Amino acid sequence: MTPAEWAAFVAAILSCCALIVGGLRYIIRHEVPGILEASNIVSRIDKLERMVLELLTNERKKTNKKRTRRQA
């Protein structure tokens, strides 16, 4: 292959890579936030996080009460 053919080959590969990266970037910026909001994933995660924290704090309170009763 001549240097001109190699240059054309490399340019074609770089163009394809740039097209793929640009397409993925567009999808991530414009489509993913809409999907996340539509499915309420963020609110579900927040709700789950609050539930776990509430359970953990309730468990800590119960164990603290048991310890104080035994010591008294």
Question: Chain-wide mean pLDDT for the chain?
Answer: 83
Residue 11 in domain: no
Global pTM?
A: 0.47
Q: Which domain holds residue 45?
A: 25-72
User: DSSP for the chain?
Assistant: --HHHHHHHHHHHHHHHHHHHHHHHHIIIIIHHHHHHHHTHHHHHHHHHHHHHHHHHHHHHHHHHHHHHHH-
pLDDT one-digit tens code per residue, 22-57: 999 998 888 877 776 766 777 788 888 899 888 888
Q: Is residue 30 part of a domain?
A: yes
Q: What's the number of domains the chain is made of?
A: 1
| Residue 29 domain-assigned (yes or no) | yes
